[in-house]
Amino acid sequence: MKIVVASNNEHKIKEFKSILSDVELLTLKDIGFTEDIEETGDTFLENALIKAKTVSEYLKNKGLDYDVLSDDSGLCCVGLNLEPGVYSHRYGGDVSFHEKRMKLIKDLEGKNKEAYFMCTIVLYHIDGTYEYKEGKTYGKIIDKELGDTSFGYDAIFLSDDLGKTFGEATEYEKNKVSHRGRALEQIKELIGR
Q: Which residues are catalytic?
A: 72
Dist CA 116 CA 109 (whole Å) = 17
Q: Give me the sign of the Cα torsion angle 84, 89, 93, 99.
A: positive
Dist CA 165 CA 21 (whole Å) = 26
25: nearest Cα among 9, 14, 33: 14
Dist CA 171 CA 156 (whole Å) = 16
112 three-class SS: coil
Query: Please, what's the largest Cα pairwise distance for the chain?
Result: 55
